[in-house]
Amino acid sequence: MKILVTGGAGFIGGNFVHYMVNKYPEDVIVNLDLLTYAGNLETLKPVEGKPNYKFVKGDIADRPFIMDLFEKEQFDVVVNFAAESHVDRSITDPGLFVQTNVMGTQTLLDASRQFGVKRYHQVSTDEVYGDLPLDRPDLFFTEETPLHTSSPYSASKAGADLLVLAYYRTFGTPVTVSRCSNNYGPYHFPEKLIPLMISRALADESLPVYGKGENVRDWLHVSDHCAAIDLIIRKGKVGEVYNIGGHNERTNLEVVKTILKALDKPESLIQYVTDRPGHDRRYAIDPTKIETELGWEPKYTFDTGIAMTIQWYLDNQEWWKHILSGEYSNYFENMYGDRLH
């Protein structure tokens, strides 16, 4: 099989490329990425030079380029990770999120239709369901939960999901969609909660916690997400949505304190800052469908996964320090300068 992975220089796409290139030497993996601020070819060093791997630089929303690529490569499967993925950035620049996440998805769908791709898989997010109240731990997102988005990011992801499902219903394009909870693990860009806190704690810098730190996220190790997507593209039913999550809910404060304890750093580093506008309270996935229909189950609990992840950041300081020394050093000032109080 020839598989196009878009966004494979990012966090989850990069982990997925490693997973697929190593697990399926008989398949060819083509990684298409625009190399935005979030794309990093250093993440792909372990697979560079493997005979079943190829990198192509380009924009999923560039229609002539995408049509040429699909005509030339004749992909069997497309897995679309490429996106603008950071909620805070979507508050600063919503238009870019519509352009990449909605228009990019539509372009890939048109190319998949035109060139007879056998499976188009859309990597989506639990954020399309909006949020759950903090005082109702009995409630979970199922695949039937109505879409009810909060941020320009989640709205753009929901728009893309609806287009994907519309192409199935209207044109019979063979699609699947997965909606996963918060990922963590190696190669996670240090603007997101866990890698930001690890990198700043190691430098004895303040840890900016939004609001009171009571918001809840449902954490899944990235390798469990990769295994779930692999299963869906091979065994999932066309036209279906699959939720992915492992029942690992933690408040943000619990996550930050776990990191501080593991690194033997004081809780006095925590600094409460102005909340994110529209901040979703709680995410929690009900993964019954993928467990019962496809036999997926996560390998890692949060406790084992976070310990491995912290160790990875300790062992791979060059990877994230390289990012922090570049363009991203201005980002922290711009994003947090006015929020500190």
Query: Which of 8, 174 has the CB closer to ligand NAD?
Result: 8
Environment class of 327 (CB within 10 Å of its CB; exposed 0-12, middle 13-18, buried 19+):
exposed
# chain residues binding ligand NAD, by CB under 6 A: 30
Q: Kindly indicate which of the ranges 10-18, 111-119, 137-145, 302-310 contains the residues binding ligand NAD, using the contact rule CB under 6 A.
A: 10-18
The yes or no reply on residue 185 touching ligand NAD (CB under 6 A) is no
- Contact positions with ligand NAD (CB under 6 A) in 248-307: none
d(CA 279, CA 158): 17
* Residue 53 and residue 31 in contact, taking contact as beta carbons nearer than 8 Å: yes
| Minimum distance of ligand NAD from residue 31's CB (angstroms) | 9
Q: Kindly indicate which of the ranges 27-35, 169-177, 199-207, 276-284 contains the residues binding ligand NAD, using the contact rule CB under 6 A.
A: 27-35
The yes or no reply on residue 208 touching ligand DAU (CB under 6 A) is yes
The yes or no reply on residue 194 touching ligand NAD (CB under 6 A) is no
Known catalytic residue: 127?
A: yes
Query: Beta strand pairing status for 28-33 and 2-6?
Result: parallel
Mutual angle of helices 63-73 and 104-114, in 10-degree steps = 30
Site string for ligand DAU, 314-333 (x = CB under 6 A): --------------------
Among the listed residues 120, 129, 153, 313, the single catalytic one is 153
* Residue 218 and residue 248 in contact, taking contact as beta carbons nearer than 8 Å: yes
Query: Which of 176, 252 has the CB closer to ligand DAU?
Result: 252
Sheet order of strands, 216-221 included:
182-184, 216-221, 249-251
Site string for ligand NAD, 40-59 (x = CB under 6 A): -------------------x
| Minimum distance of ligand DAU from residue 167's CB (angstroms) | 21
Query: Which of 13, 130 has the CB closer to ligand NAD?
Result: 13
What's at 276, amino acid-wise?
Answer: R
Residue 321 site contact among ligand NAD, ligand DAU, none (CB < 5 to 8 Å, cut-off depends on kind): none
d(CA 228, CA 219): 15
Helix, strand, coil share of the chain (percent; to 5): 45, 20, 35
The yes or no reply on residue 248 touching ligand DAU (CB under 6 A) is no
Query: Which of 81, 167 has the CB closer to ligand NAD?
Result: 81
d(CA 287, CA 179): 10
- Contact positions with ligand NAD (CB under 6 A) in 108-137: 123, 125
Known catalytic residue: 153?
A: yes
DSSP 2-57: EEEEETTTSHHHHHHHHHHHHH-TTSEEEEEE---TT--GGGGTTTTT-TTEEEEE
CA distances from 138 to 141, 247, 252, 285 (A): 10, 12, 19, 11
The yes or no reply on residue 39 touching ligand DAU (CB under 6 A) is no
The yes or no reply on residue 228 touching ligand NAD (CB under 6 A) is no
Token pair for residue 298? 């996560």
- 3-class DSSP string for 78-95: EEECCCCCCHHHHHHCHH
- Contact positions with ligand NAD (CB under 6 A) in 59-98: 59-61, 81-85
| Minimum distance of ligand NAD from residue 78's CB (angstroms) | 12
Q: Which residues bind ligand NAD (CB under 6 A)?
A: 6-7, 9-13, 33-36, 38-39, 59-61, 81-85, 100, 104, 123, 125, 157, 180, 182-183, 189
User: Which residues are marked as active site?
Assistant: 126-127, 153
Q: Which residues bind ligand DAU (CB under 6 A)?
A: 85-87, 125-127, 181-182, 192-193, 196, 208-210, 215, 217, 252, 276, 283
